[in-house]
Chains A and B, each alone.
Chain A
Amino acid sequence: MTVMDQRGAYRPSPPPAWQPRTDPAPLLPDPEPYRVLGTEAAGQADPELLRTLYAHLVRGRRYNTQATALTKQGRLAVYPSSTGQEACEVAAALALKEQDWLFPSYRDTLAVVARGVDPVQALTLLRGDWHTGYDPREHRVAPLCTPLATQLPHAVGLAHAARLKGDDVVALAMVGDGGTSEGDFHEALNFAAVWQAPVVFLVQNNGFAISVPLAKQTAAPSLAHKAVGYGMPGRLVDGNDAAAVHEVLTEAVRHARAGGGPTLVEAITYRVDAHTNADDATRYRENAEVETWREHDPILLLERELTARGLIDEDGMRAAREDAEAMAADLRARMHQDPVLDPMDLFDHVYAEPTPQLREERAQLRAELEAEAEAGPAPRPEGALR
C-alpha cells in the first residue's frame, strides 16, 4: 500500500508528460496595432458608442487640464496627467459591466471617474487629504496604486476569488510600460494564466517611464508579446483610437467572462504632458516628437470619424464641450473649498481595534490639540520651521 492509498479518496492527478500547452501562434499579437477609426472597420462601429466615447474623451481632456491647473494653484500636491491617453482611460471604464472591478494605477483617475467615482473623491490621494477618497466596494474600483504593478496580483486574486464563489466578475488591471519590468507584473500574469483567472491586463505604453524610453525598458518585440510566455493571448492596439481600444478590451473582457482566461492588451499611446507637474520633459524628448503625437490625438481621431460620417455636427461638439466645462467648473469650485480634516483620523483606521500603544499616542495628540485650542493661534517667529 502506498502512502497515497492510505490517505483515502484524495488522488493527485498524474503528472502529464511535458508538452506545449498551446500553439503559440494564436497567442501572438498582430504585428501592427489594431485600428478602427479611419479604416473600413469603423463602418461597423455603433454610432451611439462612438458618440459616448467622444463625450467621455472631451470630458477626460477637460478633467486633465483642470487638474493640472489645480496643481499650479496649490490645490493638488501632484497630478500625473493622462492627456493624450484619454482613449485608454475611457475604454477601460466602458468595457466593464457594473459588477466588474477596475484596478487603476496612479495615472488612471479618468478611468476611475468614468467608472462613476466622484471627481473630487478620485483626487483625494493627489490632493493629500487622505490616501483614498472612495469606498472601493461601492464602485468596484481598487484604490489608485502608487507602487508599480503591485495592484496586478490583487486583480488576479480578486478575480480568482469571485470565480471560486461562482460570481460573474471580471477584473481589469491597468499598468504602464515601465510597470511591465516589475516582478509583480510577471507574477501576476503567471498566476492569472495558471489559474485561468478572469482578468484583463491593460498596458498603456505611453513611451516613457518618467524619462526612460521604451527601448531602454524592454528588448521584447512588443509588450504584448510578453503574453505568449505565460500562455495567454497578447493584443496590440492603437491606444489613441478609442473605438479600437474599446473593441479589443470588450472582447478580452468577454473572453475572460466566458472562462477563456486572461488577456494582455498593449495600447500604444503617448503621454503628451510631462510625467507630473514636477517633471521637466524637455530634458529627455524633443518637442517635434510631441507635436507628431498631437496630430494623432484621440479626440481629433474620433472627431474626424464622427464628422466624416455625419454622426455629429457643430452643435453636438459644442454640447460635449459645454458638458465638460460644467464638470470642470464644479470640480474647480469644490476643490477650492479647504478640506476639513480630523487629525484623530490618524489613529482610527490602523487596526480594527487600536492597540494599547496607539491609544496612548491618540491621547497624546488629543492633549496637544486641546492645548493648541486653548492657547489660540500662536504667532510664529520669523524663519520658524513650519
Chain B
Amino acid sequence: MSTVAVRPATMAQALTRALRDAMAADDSVHVLGEDVGALGGVFRVTDGLAEEFGEDRCTDTPLAEAGILGTAVGMAMYGLRPVVEMQFDAFAYPAFEQLVSHVSRMRNRTRGAMPLPLTVRVPYGGGIGGVEHHSDSSEAYYMATPGLHVVTPATVADAYGLLRAAIASDDPVVFLEPKRLYWSKDSWNPEDPAPVEPIGRAVVRRSGRSATLITYGPSVAVCMEAAEAARAEGWDLEVVDLRSLVPFDDETVCASVRRTGRAVVVHESGSFGGPGGEIAARVTERCFHHLEAPVLRVAGFDVPYPPPMLERHHLPGVDRILDAVGRLQWEAES
C-alpha cells in the first residue's frame, strides 16, 4: 500500500475547511462580509466558498460592519445561520452596537423565543507587523457582554473543531482568530477525522508540577516555548489553553492550579481591566489555600496597540513570562 504524505494544513486552511464542511452539511449556513467572495477574504479563509456554494451563500457585502452584522441578525431571525467576517479586530468596532445591543440580547429579550445562531469571526492580535487598527486584542469587551460566547483556537485542529462548534451553536459566538497563527501548522492532518467538541472546555497543553501558565490564542505557543526554556531553571511548567473565554472552564484551570500552587495568566491584551484580572480573581477565590504566591499577569502594556516597529516590546514574550515565573518564588513581606 502506497502512502502519500498529506501536507499538514495551516490554521487558515483548517478554518476554510470548517466553513466549507459546515456549509455543505447545512443549507442555512451563510457566509457574509467584505471581500469574502472573489478574493476569498484578505487572509483567504473564505477561499473558494463563493465558487462552490454561490454568491447567495458566500456574499460580498458593502463595506459597513454595522450593516454586515445588523443584516446577519435579521437573517438569523429568519432561521439562517450567518457567519460574518470582520476583516480585522479594530474594524469590528462600528458593529459593536449591533453586537452588544442586539446579538447578545435577542434570546434574553424574547425569553428564549428568538435565539440568534450566528458566528462573528474576528481576526485578532498582533505580531504580524500590521499598522494601526490591525492588531487589537478586544476580547475583554466581548467577555464583558452577557449573551456572547467567546472562543479562540491556538492549534490547527482546534481552529477546525471550535469553528464547527461555533457555527452549530444556537447562541451567538465571537470567534477570535489569532492572525499570527493563520500560517502555523501542527500535527493535524486535514484528512483525519476532525474533532468537534462543545464550547467551554480548556485543555492542558503541557503537564508540569511547579506552576501553571494560563493562556489562550496567540500566547499559547509563546507559553509552550517559555515552558521549554524554564526547564533549564528547574521549573516544570504546566500550560493550560483556555480555548473558550466564555464560558470559562474554572474546573480545568483550578484543578491545574491546585496541583501546582502557582499561576501566571498570559495574554496580549492590556492588563488593566483585561481578561487576566478576571482570571486571577477567579483562581484566587477558588484556590486561595492552594496558592503559594499571588496569581501574576503577563500582558500587553496598557497602551494603544503600538506601531509595528515597537510591537516586540509590547507583546508578552518568553523572557517576560520567565521573569514572572521567577517572581512566583514569593515570600510574604513581614
Interface hits, B92-116 → A, CB 8 Å: 94, 97-98, 101-102, 105-115
> Known: A137-B114, A161-B80. Contact between A7 and B51, CB under 8 A?
yes
The answer for the CA separation of A184 and B65 in the assembled complex, in Å, is 10
B67–A190 touching, CB < 8 Å:
yes
Segment among A250-258, A321-329, A350-358 that sits at the interface with chain B: A350-358
Which chain B positions have C-beta within 8 A of A132?
Answer: 109-111, 113
Which chain A positions have C-beta within 8 A of B66?
Answer: 153, 183-184, 187
User: Is A260 close to B, CB under 8 A?
Assistant: no
- What's the count of A-B pairs with C-beta under 8 Å? 148
Which chain B positions have C-beta within 8 A of A355?
Answer: 200, 246-248
User: Is A9 close to B, CB under 8 A?
Assistant: yes
User: Is A147 close to B, CB under 8 A?
Assistant: yes
Interface residues on B, range: 35 or more
User: Is A164 close to B, CB under 8 A?
Assistant: yes
B62–A190 touching, CB < 8 Å:
yes
Smallest beta-carbon distance A88→chain B, Å: 22
> Known: A135-B113, A143-B109, A160-B71. Contact between A154 and B77, CB under 8 A?
yes
The answer for the CA separation of A345 and B113 in the assembled complex, in Å, is 13
Interface hits, A139-156 → B, CB 8 Å: 142-143, 147, 150, 152-156
The answer for the CA separation of A183 and B250 in the assembled complex, in Å, is 40
> Known: A164-B56, A183-B66, A187-B66. Contact between A8 and B51, CB under 8 A?
yes
User: Is B195 close to A, CB under 8 A?
Assistant: no
Smallest beta-carbon distance A358→chain B, Å: 8
Which chain A positions have C-beta within 8 A of B38?
Answer: 12
Which chain B positions have C-beta within 8 A of A184?
Answer: 66-67, 70, 97-98
User: Is A380 close to B, CB under 8 A?
Assistant: no
The answer for the CA separation of A345 and B108 in the assembled complex, in Å, is 9
B67–A357 touching, CB < 8 Å:
no
Smallest beta-carbon distance B39→chain A, Å: 10
In the complex formed, the residue of A with least CB distance to B247 is A355
Interface hits, B1-50 → A, CB 8 Å: 30, 37-38, 48, 50
A187–B64 touching, CB < 8 Å:
yes
A187–B112 touching, CB < 8 Å:
no
B48–A136 touching, CB < 8 Å:
no
8 Å CB contact of B94 from A183, A190, A349, A352: A183
8 Å CB contact of A191 from B62, B82, B94: B62
A159–B74 touching, CB < 8 Å:
yes
Give the interface of A toward B (CB within 8 A): 7-10, 12, 130-132, 135-137, 142-143, 147, 150, 152-162, 164-165, 171, 183-184, 187-188, 190-191, 194, 345, 348-352, 355-357
Give the interface of B toward A (CB within 8 A): 30, 37-38, 48, 50-51, 56, 61-62, 64, 66-67, 69-80, 82, 94, 97-98, 101-102, 105-115, 146-147, 149, 169-171, 200, 246-251
Would you list 25 pairs from A and B whose C-beta atoms are within 8 A, ordered by A residue?
Answer: A10-B51, A12-B38, A132-B109, A132-B110, A132-B113, A136-B110, A143-B106, A153-B67, A154-B77, A157-B77, A157-B78, A161-B80, A164-B56, A165-B79, A184-B66, A184-B70, A184-B98, A187-B70, A190-B67, A345-B111, A350-B146, A350-B147, A352-B115, A352-B171, A356-B247
